[in-house]
Structure 1
């Protein structure tokens, strides 16, 4: 498989610092020794509590314990005591003696404790996060949990692999309990199970995905040991994992029907309307009702469609539907690797002008493995591990149901790579380190991705407006997904109505729209994260520009977001308000590059070390042949 490793780094007039400071210069910080560091042990304890109940919500998963026991009365009491002690320790920290960064972390911890509430006192569930998450998480995420650079990684992998049948049995038990608890028909969330399981029609597809750690194996394994482990994994998959998935699928097909009564989906997923509204508020950073989000989404779709129509008419299309039906498509088996590489190389000089400093942002680009369910997405971003052992990868659909559209590529690169999620992950990790993340914040990273799509569109790389068309089309798709989310979970839409709406608004194929609906029904409220998160960031930018006037520096605003890190959106909003009231000073004074950095592109062979720096100063784009 060909993988592109893209490096972005600035040529700065001053050397980059090892850690990103907060919005206050060093001279303005409190001088009390040790106080600012007291927040980090509390962050780690909170992350441990979260990891015991919802491991995938932390940005850098803690070590996996294969057999976390159910909570008995004594264990529940101990965890309740830990939770109460942690809450008290956080509240007792004196804000005036903390650095600004520590103050915002303290606020974020209190927000997260209130938001999670009793969920921190539930029975642990490692891979099965909800009634419909089990099969695709087990199959697609298991090989991506570890960097696979040592024999120890493979031992953890085998523990996970052997536990997969148990995870599926537990998922079936939870599904059955929830199904029986609903007095009327089983409903919409269960539709997601059936639609997702349809992806795993062949055991060979599952085997291909789960065997990825052995293609090729880690350098730490000798050839003989690698062959032995490969055979052992194949036997477990054939004898245990495959039959367990088949049994789970039989249960779904014979017991569950894809019908729903309004409101039952939320109860089946363990939510109520207040919790759903809370998810919307988490994404926006302020209270927002489903009706308000729904109305805003419909209005935004109208504006985006009008904007898109005005942009495509000069290209010779008679209408927006005519453009969506006649867009320039790649060959049926085409894979846009070269286009992605060229685009990343082209935007680097522009990024040097828009940001105070460009992070070193190595990124692999490769095609998704056959059979990986991507919920209708054409691109899936997997961030690097904080220790750098596992590189970041942008997986692009290689065998989707319809050929790639050329106009899709810029927006997907802007959202997922640069200046989007990968850019933000790398900048945040450089400034904070993975262990200072509170928990993963979808609205922060996904919201930044959509916000960054607009930044990338401003570059207009082809001078023909197609970059902007790509950006507007991408936002139209995401906003329409949020409207579908609200329609399904609040307004009583059927899956068929949701599918038809996505097809009509975006010109999608039936198969891709169905995959998106299955993902939306499985994760109530998640589609709001990128849309409402980006809306909040745009509003904060507009407020800063209005308050600071000519002194407003967009690059300093972006750098401040990275310096603050992945806070809950409500805390991030307050932090950005404080920043602009302080004058909007850049976190790294004098750090703007004195010249744009232009990457090179070259192909390296398998014999050279992976991720090797091949230039004396800076790092450029390069190709790598690998798994």
Structure 2
């Protein structure tokens, strides 16, 4: 999955739930060669340019993640007036788009038009639900604002001064969030209490006696050679002063507000359908994330069928390794036997890094086009590791100034089994998310919203599909690694059942946890965090399996249609060549590719 902080920042800003580049909108790639365009196309690309710039200006964190440093000294304005102004801007942009004659555009610009329209239409549709009044989740929010440093490049003294400016603005940012939370309480729009009970510990990590132990101080721990030695001590002293006198008091006050005024007023229930207009909200989220019109019941039934199919495959692995107990007992064995775990965080990190290097040379078996942008492996920051997922991916900067990074959770290594490392790395790094995002940046002539876009069903569907590509790459020679792949496939099938179960069918949190534990060998630490993630981000987890099923269906369709002409590498490259798009658009493009291949 993508970094949770991005999603939290999006909701807090009242923006679409996608990576900053995607919800910013669009622009023509600066490096793309000039192409003769019609008047309608010129109008379309002018809109893309202007909306991309608006997105960067209105979402400084998104600009920072994309490598644009112009707004590095500020946070997104989440005052109610600014949120309304952004909503008005989205509606105006949609009106401008609809005034363009789509029929007068080239086929490629029609694809740009349709993809841009899809996102804008849903940004406007979701305004009614006022998500911005619930700006925190257990996975991120103002309490973990320091996390943006993972995506910043500190190359000059100005970069450090910009960060100091952001530190000075922390109290105003917190006050704006508190205002949204108060408004949310008045409107009956609050998160589930079971999730919010995790937040006080996250806030407490910002309240330190020693400023150098603050997560916000991290950039000042070391400097590049480009920062003059004479300035380093001055910058460090200023950072200590601002953290001690501004940042820490602001978070101390926020902690008091949260415990006294907010936490007691959060809702007892877990279903998003409990909110005002909640059923319509969940229907919207399911459609938005899956990019389909599937109902909650249809998704639920698909999940049940997939769970049954994968259980049968797991039974075969249990028999193959000679385990004599039941499948439930096999799960317990996989979760608890010490041989499946590393003893220390350092050993676990080294193993993840080695796994990445094991995968890299096998990529030529599944793709002819290897993206140029590199990637690295990093630990998830300690202050968020206990409450977040097993791993996530942070895309590289658009301008190439930052590589992509595969972040792995080293908290409690005794809960991170070795058998999950192959599918996890395939999904989060290569050929999963890193391939998808790095290849997107290399799309020729595409506007930036296409090159940096993120439709969850496409992006996470590709990531889950990439886990199975490990078979084509010869990586699942160990039966326990194959069990890991099946457990990850089951994980995403279970999501279809428990997400719809909790939000549309009245399931309790305990029932969802038990169903997960009964059908997958993931450890209880992971299962509880996952279930809480589905509670906090309704519908998002549906996209993975729905997207994977569609991509797998298109692969089989291509194989049957092309016969001996079918080359898996060409198919995979074609899927990535579309950039991130709704599943219906991907299907149309693959069908057109099949027809072209058959014509020879």
| TM-score (normalised: structure 2) | 0.80
Deviations 1:449-489 (A, max 9, x none): 11100111343436333332221111222332343322222
Name the SS of the counterpart of 1:387 in structure 2. coil
Inter-CA distance 174–78: structure 2 relative to 1 (3 Å threshold): closer
**Aligned-pair distance for 1:287?**
0.4
In structure 2, stretches of 5+ residues that fail to align are 1-28
Deviations 1:249-271 (A, max 9, x none): 33343443565347556627xx6
**Aligned-pair distance for 1:191?**
3.0
CA RMSD of the aligned region, Å? 3.8
1:94-109 equivalences under 5 Å are 94-95=102-103, 97-98=105-106, 100-109=107-116
1:446 is aligned, of 457, 460, 463, to 460
Q: 1:616 aligns to what?
A: none
2:575 is aligned, of 558, 561, 564, to 561
Q: 1:41 aligns to what?
A: 46
Q: Tell whether the 8 Å contact from 2:501 to 2:507 is kept in structure 1 after alignment.
A: yes
CA distance in 2, matches of 1:501, 1:47: 43
2:235 is aligned, of 229, 233, 257, to 229
Name the SS of the counterpart of 2:344 in structure 1. coil
Q: 2:410 aligns to what?
A: 398
Inter-CA distance 434–391: structure 2 relative to 1 (3 Å threshold): farther
Inter-CA distance 280–583: structure 2 relative to 1 (3 Å threshold): farther
Is the aligned partner of 1:536 residue 2:547?
A: no
Q: 1:146 aligns to what?
A: 152
Which sits farther off after the overlay, 394-403 or 446-455? 394-403
Is the aligned partner of 1:84 residue 2:92?
A: yes
**Aligned-pair distance for 1:170?**
2.5
Deviations 1:184-220 (A, max 9, x none): xx86534322224434543459945322323422433
1:114-193 equivalences under 5 Å are 114-117=121-124, 129=135, 135=141, 138-182=144-188, 189-193=192-196
Query: Which structure exhibits the higher relative contact order, with contacts defined as CA atoms closer than 8 Å and separated by 6 or more residues?
Result: 1
CA distance in 1, matches of 2:291, 2:562: 22
CA distance in 1, matches of 2:476, 2:270: 47
Deviations 1:77-125 (A, max 9, x none): 8974784365334552444542x33221111111112111166799997
CA distance in 1, matches of 2:367, 2:394: 23
CA distance in 2, matches of 1:78, 1:515: 32
Q: Tell whether the 8 Å contact from 1:311 to 1:465 is kept in structure 2 after alignment.
A: yes
Deviations 1:381-406 (A, max 9, x none): 11110111122221222232634311
Is the aligned partner of 1:275 residue 2:287?
A: no
Inter-CA distance 174–332: structure 2 relative to 1 (3 Å threshold): same
**Aligned-pair distance for 1:228?**
2.4
In structure 1, stretches of 5+ residues that fail to align are 1-18, 23-29, 587-627
Q: 1:320 aligns to what?
A: 327
1:367 is aligned, of 379, 386, 397, to 379
Inter-CA distance 341–373: structure 2 relative to 1 (3 Å threshold): closer
Inter-CA distance 219–477: structure 2 relative to 1 (3 Å threshold): farther
Name the SS of the counterpart of 1:431 in structure 2. coil
**Aligned-pair distance for 1:357?**
1.6
1:7-86 equivalences under 5 Å are 39-51=44-56, 60=66, 63-64=70-71, 65-66=74-75, 68=77, 70=79, 80=88, 83-84=91-92
Q: 2:343 aligns to what?
A: 332
Inter-CA distance 36–396: structure 2 relative to 1 (3 Å threshold): same
Inter-CA distance 130–434: structure 2 relative to 1 (3 Å threshold): farther
Q: 2:216 aligns to what?
A: 210
Q: 1:599 aligns to what?
A: none
Q: Tell whether the 8 Å contact from 1:131 to 1:171 is kept in structure 2 after alignment.
A: no
Q: Number of aligned pairs?
A: 552
1:284 is aligned, of 290, 299, 302, to 290
Name the SS of the counterpart of 1:582 in structure 2. helix
Name the SS of the counterpart of 2:465 in structure 1. helix
Q: Tell whether the 8 Å contact from 2:270 to 2:509 is kept in structure 1 after alignment.
A: no
CA distance in 1, matches of 2:267, 2:124: 31
CA distance in 1, matches of 2:177, 2:268: 20
Q: Tell whether the 8 Å contact from 1:333 to 1:403 is kept in structure 2 after alignment.
A: no
**Aligned-pair distance for 1:35?**
7.0
Q: 2:364 aligns to what?
A: 352
CA distance in 1, matches of 2:62, 2:454: 5
Name the SS of the counterpart of 1:359 in structure 2. coil
Q: Tell whether the 8 Å contact from 1:381 to 1:394 is kept in structure 2 after alignment.
A: yes
| TM-score (normalised: structure 1) | 0.77
Q: Tell whether the 8 Å contact from 2:419 to 2:481 is kept in structure 1 after alignment.
A: yes
